[in-house]
Amino acid sequence: MGINVVSADDFAAVSAKMVGFAIIELQKKLKRNVNLVLATGHTMVGFLDELSKVKGIDWKRVNAFHLDEYKGLDIEHPCSYAYFLTENLFSKVDIPEKNIHLISEIGKKDYMNILRRKGRADITMLGIGMDGHLAFNEPPNYSGFDSKMQEVKLTKETIDSNIDLYPEIKENPYAITMGMADIMESKKLFFLANKAKKAHIVKKALTGPVTEEVPASILQKHENVEIILDKAAGALVK
């Protein structure tokens, strides 16, 4: 597990440079497209913008997938994660529409199979929720390490954290998310966290016991994970 702690000002650009480099290196090696699984949320906004500016990525040779989506929100809904990714990345790069794989269009039954048929995730982006969730695998009900793509009911804390981006979340506290086992299938994981409010849960995830009560602690078991923290989020990690 590589842990990189950078200044808040450099967080987005350094993350984009590292992920961009990984995509470019894979594009040199692979004959097929690179399978990139994207995450959403506040942490990803600056990163996605910087990633769109990285020179040398051939976006025509990237298949985009994403971790999770609110239940029932299609791509036209301005609070959907599909819309978020279109706004923050897809509209800024030269990625063909056929390479974009959205949960709301494909559905949870087939989503992982399509990704596996294309060769599995090469790179998966991850943030962390305040309760340690990855994607939307909330403890204790949905964070089994063997969990597969599933529908979940969001906790109050997660609803509160996301209400600024999705004001109606209280009326629709449901989402479809890749499971923990699905995430662990990715060949490489990039885990990003910033801001002081994440310091405590980041410490638990990276240095505490590996437990389903802190879903992100599973990262300690993955053989190829790169951690990028700003100084505030990394303050308690030695």
Give the interface with ligand GLP as residue ranges (CB under 6 A). Answer: 39-43, 67-68, 127-129, 135-136, 158, 162
Question: What are the start-end ranges of the E strands in 75-128?
Answer: 123-126
Min separation Cβ 56 and ligand GLP, Å: 27
Please check whether residue 236 is in contact with residue 10, taking contact to mean a CB–CB distance below 8 angstroms: no
Please check whether residue 71 is in contact with residue 169, taking contact to mean a CB–CB distance below 8 angstroms: no
Pick the closest to residue 62 from 86, 88, 26, 29 (CA basis): 26
Residue nearest to ligand GLP (CB): 127
Give the residue with the Cβ less far from ligand GLP, 143 or 162.
Answer: 162
Give the residue with the Cβ less far from ligand GLP, 27 or 41.
Answer: 41
Give the residue with the Cβ less far from ligand GLP, 39 or 89.
Answer: 39
Please check whether residue 130 is in contact with residue 161, taking contact to mean a CB–CB distance below 8 angstroms: yes
Give the residue with the Cβ less far from ligand GLP, 129 or 173.
Answer: 129
Min separation Cβ 126 and ligand GLP, Å: 6
Min separation Cβ 80 and ligand GLP, Å: 12
Min separation Cβ 30 and ligand GLP, Å: 26
At 144, list the tokens: 């089994």
**Does residue 140 have a cis peptide bond before it, meaning omega lies within 30 degrees of 0?**
yes
Give the residue with the Cβ less far from ligand GLP, 61 or 231.
Answer: 231
DSSP secondary structure code for residue 187 in this structure: S
Give the residue with the Cβ less far from ligand GLP, 59 or 191.
Answer: 191
Pick the closest to residue 63 from 120, 20, 8 (CA basis): 120
76: buried, middle or exposed (CB in 10 Å: 19+, 13-18, 0-12)?
exposed
At 14, list the tokens: 């350094």
Min separation Cβ 128 and ligand GLP, Å: 6
Min separation Cβ 31 and ligand GLP, Å: 31
